[in-house]
Chain A
Amino acid sequence: MKFPVYMDNHATTPMDPRVLEKMLPYFTERFGNAASRNHKFGWEAEATVDHCREVIAQSIGADPSEIIFTSGATESDNLAVLGTGRMYSKKGNHIITVQTEHKAILDSCAAWEREGGKVTYLPVDSQGMIDLDDLRKAITSETLLISVMMVNNEIGVIQPIREIGAIARAHDVFFHTDATQGVGKLPVNVQDMNIDLMSFTAHKIYGPKGIGALYVRKRKPRVRLTPILFGGGHERGMRSGTLNVPGIVGLAEALRLSVTEMESEQARIGQLRDRLEQGLRAQLDEIYLNGHPQHRLPGNLNLSFAYVEGEGLMMGINDIAVSSGSACTSASLEPSYVLRALGVGDELAHSSLRFGLGRFTTEEEVDYTIQRVSEAVKKLRDMSPLYEMAKEGIDLKSINWTAH
């Protein structure tokens, strides 16, 4: 076993060596600029990009010309929200999104509001799911875009994308989904799901960082975007900037591999995740699952360990890389807004750990994690005044705490 054990595959993933191998020639001998129209270096790069576009489009049921390469999902999200908003502002200025979206969407929506637009932030239920009736009710004649993430990055909850797509289509509203955590892990077809725009990135699927894409529907309906980057007019004018050819090669190969191996890989990861959850529950009481028990990504496990603070817990398992919804791990000193949106109490949000299992996670690592986390939680509970009070039968909610 290699240390530290990596259990943070929602943050990023290691590159698959097969992806790296495909990319390497494009840093050195095949270094051409895909926009160079008058020599072999450029033609070769362009042909490579065209081929990659096809591979990517095929993986999501799109047409190659509908793939816009970006620097990653953050840029794709920014472009989807602000690009459609600015293009169609005469038609309407209302965007609908969800409280648990990634900051790349929420901050884009905040920017849209500063430009005078309107945004509705749909709530989620205690398991992280949106209510489709809430969505229907939120749509007005001014609504131009619905943006709902496919899979939540913290709690792994999978939203009903197909149903949302149908609602958006019926109301003649564009539908964008941030599929950063979904593409390559769940079956995705932009036609069947009525998706008009979709963000994704390579580094969550064992590809390189710094390359992503935005799917932009070209027909029925055609989606147009006002660019947010200006320059050479690349990517049908929607995203200027020299194409990152090695990155594009990496994205295409990473996606191809993920889609090809999806069924067996996700089944294996799901079994490991269940082993982790059951193993922890066998050792510890008062563990709470954050998110939905069924509608969640196989690699995700977000648990709250009552009476133990998340950052303190992470310090006790410092040879295992995980992340926490605890305020102490964030710059803002606020606990996770995603867990808050679910109605998880702040004390349990502070007690949460996110385990992200992936392609290279082994059973041995899972068993080691069970053992280490259980030991650390037990040790910290022995040290926890809250655990002591709870065991004495004191209702912690009855105490008049001094917030600070």
Chain B
Amino acid sequence: MAYSDRVIDHYNNPRNVGSLDKNAEDVGTGIVGAPECGDVMKLQIRVEEDRIVDAKFKTFGCGSAIASSSLATEMLKGKTLDEAFQIKNSQLVDELSLPPVKIHCSVLAEDAIKAAITDFRKKKG
């Protein structure tokens, strides 16, 4: 199967790889997937006054999973939490031209975004 240029670009030059302090008050962390399923995504956001000012990811998975999470961090930066919560996996599918067999990668990225926001909100109470 051939990868799209966008997937290859994100795979070769992943944006925002890394980790934020998961214990920090202003950081939300989402970890989704399972090793036995072949993909695990960790997505973290740092929030200032309801706006995402930084996003980082680490992903165990195929090229499409890596590209989906890399693109997700790009999309998150600058968005309010409510805006970020509205991000749909279909936006990732379109941007990356993911084939049907790889749509689950984008679903996982959407889940990771929501999990990170939920984690942050839980911290805030």
Contact = CB atoms under 8 A, between A and B. Distances in A.
A, B assembled together: yes
Interface of A: 307-309, 311-312, 315-316, 326-328, 333, 335, 345-347, 350, 382-388, 396, 401-404
A308 B39 CA distance: 9
A386 B35 contact: yes
Contacts of B46: none
A403 B39 CA distance: 10
A308 B60 CA distance: 6
A326 B31 contact: no
B14 A383 contact: yes
Contacts, number: 87
Nearest to A331: B101
16 contacts: A308-B60, A309-B65, A312-B61, A315-B3, A315-B63, A328-B38, A346-B35, A346-B36, A346-B38, A347-B35, A347-B36, A383-B14, A384-B58, A384-B59, A396-B35, A401-B40
Given A312-B63, A383-B66, A404 B34 contact: yes
A385 B58 contact: yes
A383 B19 CA distance: 10
Interface in B10-47: 11, 14, 17, 19, 31-42
Given A315-B11, A404-B34, A383 B59 contact: yes
Interface in B71-119: 101, 104, 107-108
A382 B36 contact: no
B53 interface: no
Main secondary structure of the interface of B (DSSP, over half): mixed
A384 B61 CA distance: 8
B17 A382 contact: yes
Contacts of B14: 383
Interface of B: 3, 8, 11, 14, 17, 19, 31-42, 58-63, 65-66, 101, 104, 107-108
Contacts of B108: 404
Given A312-B63, A345-B36, 15 more contacts: A307-B60, A311-B62, A312-B60, A326-B62, A327-B38, A346-B37, A347-B35, A347-B36, A383-B59, A385-B31, A385-B41, A385-B59, A402-B34, A403-B34, A404-B34
Contacts of B19: 388
Contacts of A327: 37-38
Contacts of A308: 60
Nearest to A348: B35
Nearest to B108: A404
A385 B36 contact: no
A311 B63 contact: yes
Most buried by A among B14, B39, B61: B61
A404 B37 contact: yes
A271 B59 CA distance: 36
Contacts of B3: 315
Contacts of A386: 35, 40, 60
Most buried by A among B37, B59, B60, B66: B60
Contacts of A401: 33-37, 40
B52 to A, nearest CB: 19
